[in-house]
A and B are shown apart, each in its own frame.
Chain A
Amino acid sequence: MKAHLMFPDADFDPHRAEPANAQILIDDLGLETVLTAMSDGDQFFYQVARSALLAPPASPERIVYRQQVLTDALAHEPVVRELYDLAVAAIEDRKKSFFGFWHGSPSSILASSVTILSLLRGRLRQLRAIADQHATHFTSPGFTAFFQTIAAELDDAYLDEIDTHLEKLRFRRGVRFSARLGKGNTSVDFVVRTPHERHGLRGLLGTEPGPAHSVTVPDRDDAGAQEVADLEGRALNPVAEAVAQSADHIASFFTQLRTELAFHLGAVNLHRALSTRAAPVCLPEPAPPDDLAFTARDLYEMTLPLRGTEHVVGNDVHADATSLIVITGANQGGKSTLARAIALASLTAAAGLPAPATALRISPARAVFTHYRRAEDATMNRGKFEEELARMREIVEQAAPGVLVVMNESFAATNEREGAEVAVPVIHAMLDARLRVLIVTHSYELADQLHREDAARALFLRAERLPDGRRTFRLAVAPPQTTSYGLDLYQEVFADELQPSRSAPES
């Protein structure tokens, strides 16, 4: 019995190893905000969301499969929450009674397992009831298959079968097992046989046909009682194990169900967080990797509204069949923001999550790498530059065709000429190896050289600056310009020194 709410044909593994640059990615792109919105305070949701976001994308068909399940979850959130709570309760049932296992004897293991199994049987019945009640309202292939599986596998006959076992496992009429004679004629090779139900007169009298010879341990014969207990224990060993493992199997099913539902509920949380802040959300259309698709309408940086920013500006981006995007323009004009927006769009689309746009068609990157200018920039320019080079090398070692490399003011820790001399071959090599590169830069030298040499496969965006110096946070398709209007910024910062103070106390 499988949940299969993330993939049509496989389980989602939340313990998959994260990529080596996971923490860098989280820090540079502000992913914590996204994860917080998805988890809404729940640590389990957080782990699942994190794992899903950092996992490589599935094929477009499988992403669509997941989106369809999400659509159902959005439409029927209370039912999904009910399923989730049921899974949690089942896992708790298993954990609560676990301590009995350490008492050692198969009899005690059996008793604990039977208790757990009874509780889990109750949960299975509840699951079946939910399915019976709500299955017809769900339309996604994922949920439809899920409910069908429950109806088929947890039908009345099966649930009765479980009940029968639970009764037999109490061994009310004693434990019967077959044996043969081993070393020194001791009885060995115990196999417990199916307990009989004895009906009718014979059942009442407690007799059965055939010869029978008994030994009863006398009162106060502790050693003898221990012998019988050991004998019973040896016989019950495989049965106890079968029951314990069965309980484990059921618990593992509920664990998997919980994990996959946690993802979707997290996605629902995210959807709600964005919608309630009037930020547009859509389910993106995934395209095959070779298409190099990227077309977005009103694309914005997802964490901004989540962090409370109002009036977030969206941008349209047409970058199909484009492997290089170069973003230049005025300081604080929204360049880094757009870069982040694009990277976040790729990650969320890959995971089957809602996208921050009114429409998005994208070939999600196989992985995302960030090469950002580090905050502690102050001294030793030469040392800083080498540090950047080392980091770039690390990225090269982990990258492969199909990944997206986001460079935010890379190689700025040196003069423009040297920086361009280093950066251009790096970028060319990456592009030729079929990586996608997104670079935000102030270096006219770099941007200009790329403009001259790579225009065919590149998109050049420039942050807008109005004549009066205000920024619109819109980026237009435009070639790089020689100035980034640093003067505007200077004016802003030194405003009170350049102009006489208006609040002079005495005139």
Chain B
Amino acid sequence: MNGPAPTTSTPVGVSILFPDPADAERAEEHDQPECVGDLLLDQVIAALTSRRGDYRLAHYFYAPLPTTAAIDYRQQVFHDLDGTPSAGHLARFGQRMTTVRRALNYAAEVRAPQVSWRWALDGATEYIEAVRDLHAHLTAAPLRSAALHAFTDYLSDYLGSEPFTRLAAEAHQITGELDRLRHSLTIRGLRVTARPYDEEEDYATQVAATFERFRHGEVKSYQVEYRDTSTVGHIEAQVLERVARLFPEPFAMLERFRAEHRDLIDPTIALFDRQAQFYLAYLDHLRPLRAAGLDFCYPQVTDAREIEVRDTFDLALCAKLAEDHTPIVRNDIRVQSHERIIVITGPNQGGKTTYARTIGQLCHLARLGLPVPGTSARLPLIDTVFTHFERGENLTDLRGKLQDDLIRIHDILHAASDRSLIILNEIFTSTTLQDALALSTRILEDVTRLDALCVCVTFIDELACLNEKTTSVVAGVDPADPTIRTFRLEPRPADGRAYAAALAAKHQLTYHDITEALAR
């Protein structure tokens, strides 16, 4: 038993991730969608959840929200937390709950009874204080989100409830009793004896006082360092049992407490603890990127099919680039309401696939209620993102690959709706240009009929002006040296192959170069 698990038996009162708490349970069942790998979001999610394994947050990043209202529910919470003291308070609450769980786990594992009972009591105390502190902050903070308001109300009811007040009172009383106890131990050889408290003086002080008259100045310290360890040895456990015999009443109370309050963490609060980490993890992930000058914004998610994003970038790639101190190129995305298919062409390694991925990432992240890369964003509410990326060459059977491609695309078109986003990355590369053109044209016509949104990365320039629903974007090159990529994707008609000639010249592979070389 590691992370906080909402017990499915008891109904949960409030979820800060879903307006309907029941959706929280359904989210558990979501597996990783196929598109997540292709969009490299699996890397992002792994990074997000790397130090939060106990919370099992990944599922929340797989399950898209069905309505703009649900998205808004989450964005409101983000606004309450992004850059405010509340994030710190929630983080601290999380740390304290981890401490509580550790204490309760230890209480369950350790064998010495008096030690176990005490750990349970200390865990309960930490829980009570953590919950009270959280409540104090939430009631005082200027919160706007419905989610946090609902949770705060829940917390108020919980703190005022009879079971909680009784728990707190008992914990407080017993802790006080135990803290007041004083006993004495005598060690003689291998024998340890517990006795009532001895009123005699502190002997070290007496010794020091006797020799104080010789003090000349500062002298060095001779104390030996002992590491603070909370594990209890078997002899210490027995000593504790003897000490308990000196104070039968307090220990009886302690034992009763442990028996009566075995499951003390409220499920809604446990769920809150876990779901809060969703927000905190994502904000923590953004922090270094923001510090490096990258912008994030809260997208406007609508039922329209328009896309308008400024200064955006690939969330997975940017972490790597930032580490290497490579500047990150930002791009705009513009799909007007009558357009549906973005055809991306241009030189190799020019950022085409990255651009396509970025569009997919934006749609997926927006559907999770998250802030997205960019200075402003208007995005459609997509029901599913379908991706068709290279799956690895089966070299023995090229015809098999083409067949695979067609089957996969067929399945996608079958499953997609007019609210879907389909991303096709360099399909039909394993056939002749003529075939590829014909097949691609047919596919895009199917997509057009479906009226879904589509991003198509291709080397076939002709597709860029296929019909009135296509829009063309080209990966840019430096006008001075066409071998240099700008990684800026510009909306304009497809280019042709001007760059290829420059590339050839650079590597001395023009017709003239080769002829000259071979004539020697």
Contact residue among B187, B188, B195 (Cβ-Cβ distance under 8 Å from A211):
B195
| Chain A positions 168-221 with a Cβ under 8 Å from a chain B Cβ | 168-169, 173-181, 183-187, 191-196, 210-217, 221
Q: Of residues A165, A178, A248, which shows the largest number of chain B Cβ atoms within 10 Å of its Cβ?
A: A178
Q: Is B119 an interface residue (CB 8 A)?
A: yes
Which residues on the B side are within 8 Å of A185 (C-beta)? 114-115, 117-118, 178, 240
B236 near A213: Cβ-Cβ < 8 Å = no
| Chain B positions 213-269 with a Cβ under 8 Å from a chain A Cβ | 213-217, 219-224, 226, 230, 232-236, 238-240, 242-243, 245-246
A250 to B233: give the CA distance in the assembly, Å: 40
Of B33-41, B198-206, B425-433, the segment with at least 4 beta carbons within 8 Å of chain A is B198-206
Which residues on the A side are within 8 Å of B182 (C-beta)? 178-180
Which residues on the A side are within 8 Å of B219 (C-beta)? 245, 248-249, 252
Q: Is B196 an interface residue (CB 8 A)?
A: yes
B208 near A184: Cβ-Cβ < 8 Å = no
A101 near B222: Cβ-Cβ < 8 Å = yes
Q: Is A315 an interface residue (CB 8 A)?
A: no
User: Shortest distance in angstroms between B207's beta carbon and chain A's nearest beta carbon?
Assistant: 4
Report the nearest A residue to B190, measured CB to CB: A217
Which residues on the A side are within 8 Å of B497 (C-beta)? none
Q: Is A82 an interface residue (CB 8 A)?
A: no
B187 near A239: Cβ-Cβ < 8 Å = no
Q: Is A244 an interface residue (CB 8 A)?
A: yes
Which residues on the B side are within 8 Å of A1 (C-beta)? 213-214
Report the nearest A residue to B117, measured CB to CB: A185
A250 to B208: give the CA distance in the assembly, Å: 12
User: Shortest distance in angstroms between A1's beta carbon and chain B's nearest beta carbon?
Assistant: 5
A249 near B191: Cβ-Cβ < 8 Å = no
Q: Is B181 an interface residue (CB 8 A)?
A: yes
A214 near B211: Cβ-Cβ < 8 Å = no
- B103-143 CB mask vs A (1 if < 8 Å, else 0) is 00010001000110111001000000000000000000000
- A147-169 CB mask vs B (1 if < 8 Å, else 0) is 00000010000000110010011
Which residues on the A side are within 8 Å of B117 (C-beta)? 185
A249 to B219: give the CA distance in the assembly, Å: 8
Report the nearest A residue to B245, measured CB to CB: A213
Report the nearest A residue to B195, measured CB to CB: A212
A211 to B246: give the CA distance in the assembly, Å: 7
Which residues on the B side are within 8 Å of A495 (C-beta)? none
Interface size class of B (residues with CB under 8 A): 35 or more
A193 near B118: Cβ-Cβ < 8 Å = no
Q: Is B186 an interface residue (CB 8 A)?
A: yes
A212 near B203: Cβ-Cβ < 8 Å = no
A11 near B216: Cβ-Cβ < 8 Å = yes
Which residues on the B side are within 8 Å of A241 (C-beta)? 204, 221-223
CB contact under 8 A between A105 and B224, given known A175-B186, A214-B192, A256-B216: yes
Contact residue among A101, A173, A193, A230 (Cβ-Cβ distance under 8 Å from B201):
A193
Which residues on the B side are within 8 Å of A238 (C-beta)? 204, 223
Which residues on the A side are within 8 Å of B194 (C-beta)? 212-214
Contact residue among A210, A211, A239 (Cβ-Cβ distance under 8 Å from B203):
A239
A233 near B224: Cβ-Cβ < 8 Å = yes
Which residues on the B side are within 8 Å of A255 (C-beta)? 216
A174 near B186: Cβ-Cβ < 8 Å = yes
CB contact under 8 A between A193 and B223, given known A216-B190, A250-B211: no
Which residues on the A side are within 8 Å of B106 (C-beta)? 184
CB contact under 8 A between A161 and B210, given known A185-B118, A233-B224, A245-B219: yes
CB contact under 8 A between A215 and B235, given known A240-B222, A250-B214: yes
| Chain B positions 297-333 with a Cβ under 8 Å from a chain A Cβ | none
Which residues on the A side are within 8 Å of B185 (C-beta)? 176-177, 179, 187, 231, 235
User: Shortest distance in angstroms between B100's beta carbon and chain A's nearest beta carbon?
Assistant: 14
A11 to B217: give the CA distance in the assembly, Å: 11
Which residues on the A side are within 8 Å of B235 (C-beta)? 215, 217, 221, 224, 227-228
Which residues on the B side are within 8 Å of A361 (C-beta)? none
A196 to B200: give the CA distance in the assembly, Å: 9
Which residues on the B side are within 8 Å of A195 (C-beta)? 203
User: Shortest distance in angstroms between A381's beta carbon and chain B's nearest beta carbon?
Assistant: 53
Contact residue among B202, B213, B240 (Cβ-Cβ distance under 8 Å from A191):
B202
Q: Is A456 an interface residue (CB 8 A)?
A: no
Report the nearest A residue to B106, measured CB to CB: A184
A153 near B223: Cβ-Cβ < 8 Å = no
A102 to B189: give the CA distance in the assembly, Å: 23
User: Shortest distance in angstroms between A145's beta carbon and chain B's nearest beta carbon?
Assistant: 15
Report the nearest B residue to A161, measured CB to CB: B210
A153 near B198: Cβ-Cβ < 8 Å = no
Contact residue among A101, A214, A233 (Cβ-Cβ distance under 8 Å from B191):
A214
Report the nearest B residue to A234, measured CB to CB: B226
CB contact under 8 A between A224 and B234, given known A178-B197, A193-B201: yes
User: Shortest distance in angstroms between B187's beta carbon and chain A's nearest beta carbon?
Assistant: 5
A191 to B199: give the CA distance in the assembly, Å: 11
Which residues on the A side are within 8 Å of B189 (C-beta)? 174
A157 to B215: give the CA distance in the assembly, Å: 19
Contact residue among A179, A223, A234 (Cβ-Cβ distance under 8 Å from B184):
A179
Q: Is A242 an interface residue (CB 8 A)?
A: yes
A233 to B214: give the CA distance in the assembly, Å: 26
B115 near A249: Cβ-Cβ < 8 Å = no
Q: Is A237 an interface residue (CB 8 A)?
A: yes
A177 to B200: give the CA distance in the assembly, Å: 10
Q: Is B179 an interface residue (CB 8 A)?
A: yes
- A96-137 CB mask vs B (1 if < 8 Å, else 0) is 000001001110010000000000000000000000000000
Report the nearest A residue to B215, measured CB to CB: A249
Contact residue among B205, B213, B224, B232 (Cβ-Cβ distance under 8 Å from A184):
B232
A235 to B198: give the CA distance in the assembly, Å: 15
A196 to B215: give the CA distance in the assembly, Å: 27
Which residues on the A side are within 8 Å of B204 (C-beta)? 191-192, 238-239, 241-242
A27 to B195: give the CA distance in the assembly, Å: 72
| Chain A positions 232-287 with a Cβ under 8 Å from a chain B Cβ | 232-235, 237-246, 248-250, 252-253, 255-256
Report the nearest A residue to B211, measured CB to CB: A246
B188 near A193: Cβ-Cβ < 8 Å = no
A228 near B184: Cβ-Cβ < 8 Å = no
Q: Is A390 an interface residue (CB 8 A)?
A: no
Q: Is B193 an interface residue (CB 8 A)?
A: yes
Contact residue among B183, B207, B236, B246 (Cβ-Cβ distance under 8 Å from A186):
B236
Contact residue among A174, A181, A211, A237 (Cβ-Cβ distance under 8 Å from B181):
A181
Q: Is A225 an interface residue (CB 8 A)?
A: yes
A204 to B420: give the CA distance in the assembly, Å: 94
Which residues on the A side are within 8 Å of B226 (C-beta)? 230, 233-234, 237
B230 near A183: Cβ-Cβ < 8 Å = yes
Contact residue among B178, B216, B220, B234 (Cβ-Cβ distance under 8 Å from A253):
B216
A85 to B124: give the CA distance in the assembly, Å: 66
User: Shortest distance in angstroms between A340's beta carbon and chain B's nearest beta carbon?
Assistant: 38
A3 to B179: give the CA distance in the assembly, Å: 49
Which residues on the B side are within 8 Å of A11 (C-beta)? 216
Which residues on the B side are within 8 Å of A162 (C-beta)? 210
A109 to B204: give the CA distance in the assembly, Å: 14
User: Shortest distance in angstroms between A103's beta carbon and chain B's nearest beta carbon?
Assistant: 10
Which residues on the A side are within 8 Å of B213 (C-beta)? 1, 153
B184 near A193: Cβ-Cβ < 8 Å = yes
- 17 additional contacts (CB under 8 A) given A192-B203, A242-B207: A165-B210, A179-B183, A185-B117, A187-B243, A193-B198, A211-B195, A215-B242, A225-B190, A238-B204, A239-B203, A239-B204, A240-B222, A241-B223, A246-B208, A249-B214, A252-B215, A253-B216
Nearest 10 pairs between A and B by C-beta?
A: A174-B188, A246-B211, A213-B242, A249-B214, A252-B216, A185-B118, A193-B200, A238-B204, A217-B190, A227-B233
Pairs A–B under 8 Å by Cβ, sample size 17? A173-B186, A174-B189, A177-B184, A177-B186, A184-B110, A185-B117, A187-B183, A191-B204, A193-B203, A211-B246, A214-B242, A215-B193, A227-B233, A238-B204, A244-B222, A246-B211, A253-B214
Q: Which residues of B contact A (CB under 8 A)?
A: 106, 110, 114-115, 117-119, 122, 178-179, 181-198, 200-208, 210-217, 219-224, 226, 230, 232-236, 238-240, 242-243, 245-246
